[in-house]
């Protein structure tokens, strides 16, 4: 199984032309205007702690959305580790950004934008975790060193490993050792005391080391044979360039999510997506799995030194309604989702 740690490694790669040709940078500027039309109500008392009560925002809509785009990879680093999944983490990031846009649109200003956004993301993750309530934690050895040092490789630890820590320990380790926040900031985001945050950090560091001796036998879900076959066929058609056959498989109300860029719906709406892939020549499509989900892994044939990249440049997930393609999620513009994500070639 591969464990891709892309960081900025894939960020400079761009496809050939058209719909897919924008530089895959962090900004969600093109999605921002779409988000405003689908914002849902949320509990302001829970998510808007840290905002001042001034009647007018100190940032324009454009500058605010641009700043959200810059911080999106850092938010994903947090959410993916809190939820134990790169894909679920990206969903949580989008939910958190929707809430942030809603609050900013109501004329509020923010004292410390990153801490405020992480607080929103933190509560979003907790809501998701409590709704599914199916993760387990590892019992800790009470023999804990008084002072525990961070593991310099903590950023490379797979997302699912963090999921096995209790919530506060997970939060503390991610904020302090992955994102570099202070203990006081950890305490503020987690709504606890600095002493409790420090204790959780120390215990979390020890627990991560202990996890090496506690294999997780239920980490990845098993894909069904039917779903495996459907996605395998999807990838094979991509390899053959038979996009007419793929279009014939689309549901009438098919949705395309170019994650971190834009969303389209309907057969006619998603047609340019396949046209641009048909024009691209630099990618190789491989059937594989991303966190146990059947996926199309996309490798850059023009990697460093002119050789094909060892890790995927991005990946594509497909949801089905019977034999029809209902949703296509393409992570071309979200290269940060590959950092520490578990992927494997299946063909």
Residue 9 has pLDDT above 60, yes or no: no
Q: Going from the N-terminus, what domains does the chain have, and what CATH number goes with each?
A: 154-213 (1.10.10.10), 225-345 (3.10.450.50)
* Rounded Cα distance, 313 and 334, in Å: 10
> Distance of alpha carbon 161 from its chain centroid, rounded?
16
Comparing 137-151, 169-183, 265-279, 330-344, which segment has the lowest mean pLDDT? 137-151
Q: Residue by residue, what is the 3-state secondary structure of the chain?
A: CEEECCCCCCCCCCCCCHHHCCCCCCCCHHHHHHHHHHCCCCCHHHHCCCECCCCCCCCCHHHHHHHHHHHHHHHHHHHHHHHCCHHHHHHHHHHHHHHHHHHHHCCCCECCHHHHHHHHHHHHHHHHHHHHCCCCCCCCCCCCCCCCCCCCCHHHCCHHHHCCCCHHHHHHHHHHHHCCCCHHHHHHHHCCCHHHHHHHHHHHHHHHHHHHHCCCCCCCCCCCHHHHHHHHHHHHHHHHCCHHHHHHCEEEEEEEEECCCEEEECHHHHHHHHHHHHHCCCEEEEEEEECCEEEEEEEECCCHHHCCCCCCCEEEEEEEECCEEEEEEECCCCHHHHCCEEEEECC
Mean pLDDT of 187-203: 94
Q: CA-based diameter of the chain, in Å?
A: 63
Range of weakest confidence among 23-27, 197-201, 244-248, 273-277? 23-27
pLDDT at residue 172 greater than cutoff 90:
yes
Tens-digit pLDDT profile for residues 209-222? 788 566 554 455 56
Q: How many other C-beta atoms lie within 10 A of the C-beta of residue 331?
A: 27
- Computed over its alpha carbons, how large is the radius of gyration of the chain? 21
- With 50 as the cut, is the pLDDT of residue 15 above it? no
Sequence-separated (6 or more) residues with CB below 8 Å from residue 2:
311, 342, 343, 344, 345
pLDDT number for residue 110: 75
Structure confidence at residue 90 (pLDDT): 97
The answer on pLDDT for 72 being more than 90 is: yes
Within 10 angstroms of residue 135's Cβ, the number of other Cβ atoms is 15
Which of 20-29, 151-160, 162-171, 321-330 has the lowest average pLDDT?
20-29
pLDDT at 57 over 50: no
Cα–Cα distance list, 130 to 82, 86, 125, 148, 171 (Å): 12, 18, 9, 29, 15
Residues in contact with 119: Cβ distance below 8 Å, sequence separation at least 6, in sequence order: 47, 49, 50, 188, 189
Residue closest to 333 by CA, chosen among 40, 72, 43: 72
- The pLDDT score that the predictor gives to residue 216 is 57
Q: Has residue 152 got a pLDDT over 80?
A: no
pLDDT cut 90: percent of the chain above it: 52
CA 94 – CA 76 distance, rounded (Å): 9
Average pLDDT, the chain: 78
Torsion angle (degrees, nearest 10) of CA 109, 115, 119, 120: 50
pLDDT tens digits along 81-128: 999 999 999 999 999 999 998 888 776 677 889 999 999 999 999 999
């Amino acid at each position: 199984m591969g464990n891709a740690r892309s960081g900025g490694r894939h960020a400079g790669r761009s496809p050939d032309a058209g719909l897919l040709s924008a530089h895959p940078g962090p900004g969600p500027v093109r999605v921002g205007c779409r988000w405003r039309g689908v914002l849902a109500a949320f509990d302001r008392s829970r998510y808007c702690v840290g905002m001042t009560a001034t009647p007018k925002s100190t940032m324009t809509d454009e500058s605010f959305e641009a700043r959200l785009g810059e911080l999106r990879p850092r938010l994903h680093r947090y959410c993916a580790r809190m939820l134990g999944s790169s894909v679920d983490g990206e969903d949580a990031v989008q939910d958190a950004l929707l809430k942030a846009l809603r609050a900013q649109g109501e004329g509020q200003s923010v004292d410390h934008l990153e801490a405020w956004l992480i607080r929103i993301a933190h509560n979003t993750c907790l809501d998701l975790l409590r709704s599914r309530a199916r993760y387990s934690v590892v019992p800790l050895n009470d023999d804990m060193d008084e002072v525990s040092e961070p593991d310099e490789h903590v950023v490379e630890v797979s997302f699912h490993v963090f999921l096995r820590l209790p919530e506060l320990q997970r939060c503390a380790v991610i904020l302090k050792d992955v994102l570099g926040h202070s203990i006081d900031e950890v305490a503020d985001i987690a709504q606890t005391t600095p002493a409790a945050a420090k204790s959780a950090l120390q215990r979390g560091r020890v627990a991560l080391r202990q996890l090496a001796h506690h294999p997780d036998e239920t980490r990845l879900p098993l894909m069904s044979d039917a779903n495996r076959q459907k996605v395998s066929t999807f990838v094979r058609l991509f390899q053959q360039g038979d996009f007419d056959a793929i279009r014939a498989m689309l549901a009438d109300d098919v949705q395309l999510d170019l994650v971190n860029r834009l969303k389209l719906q309907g057969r006619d709406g998603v047609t340019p997506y396949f046209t641009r892939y048909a024009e691209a020549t630099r990618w190789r499509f491989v059937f594989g799995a991303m966190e146990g989900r059947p996926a199309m892994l996309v490798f850059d044939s023009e990697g460093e030194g002119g050789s094909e990249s060892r890790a995927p440049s991005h990946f594509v997930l497909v949801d089905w309604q019977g034999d029809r393609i209902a949703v296509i999620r393409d992570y071309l513009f979200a290269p940060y989702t590959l950092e520490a994500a578990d992927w494997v070639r299946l063909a």
